[in-house]
Amino acid sequence: MPLRSLLPPLVAAAILLGPAAQAQVRLITEEEARAPSQHLPATRAITRGPGLRLLTPQDVNARSFALKLAFEPRGGVAIDLQSLKVEYLKQPPIDLTPRVRPGLQGLALDLPQVTVPAGAHPLRISIRDAEGREGSMLIHLTAR
């Protein structure tokens, strides 16, 4: 069967499956997980920056799971999605942003399948709005 005749069904499947068709993302490698942990910074309780809401449980029973996060604008100010930063809090911090950027969809981060080694993984996620105000959160992800 010629490749040209296979393209329309493949394109249709990718459109219908949407994010589910994305490849698995190795969020954290075994080597990165073995790096020394960083002292976790204190967090502020009140901010005028965008809100972040984790839609995935922080304690997962698998090393492969869906990672979902919602961004919530405040005061009618648009969120600057290009300002998203995801860091693995190791010594030194590891920038995971390029690995998660393909999962940005509207006002959410939706990665249907990420993998991490078993153990505890502290992450800091931050994003700014169009006025430069930052919202951030710490996630203490634990994979079993």
Question: For 76-101, how does the pLDDT look when each residue is reduced to its tens digit (9 = 90+)?
Answer: 999 999 999 999 999 999 999 999 99
Say whether pTM exceeds 0.95: no
- Which residue in this structure is represented by tokens 């942003």? 97
- Tell me what pLDDT residue 61 has: 85
| Residues in the chain where the model's pLDDT stays below 50 | 1, 3-21
Domains and CATH numbers, the chain: 23-143 (2.60.40.10)
**pLDDT of 9:** 45
For β-strands 59-60 and 134-143, DSSP reports them as parallel
pLDDT at 14: 41
Specify the pLDDT at position 138. 94
Distant-in-sequence contacts of 129-133, Cβ < 8 A, 24+ apart: 129/49, 129/50, 129/73, 129/74, 129/77, 129/78, 129/79, 129/80, 130/77, 130/78, 130/79, 130/80, 131/77, 133/47, 133/48, 133/49, 133/50, 133/74, 133/77
How many whole angstroms from its chain centre is CA 119?
A: 18
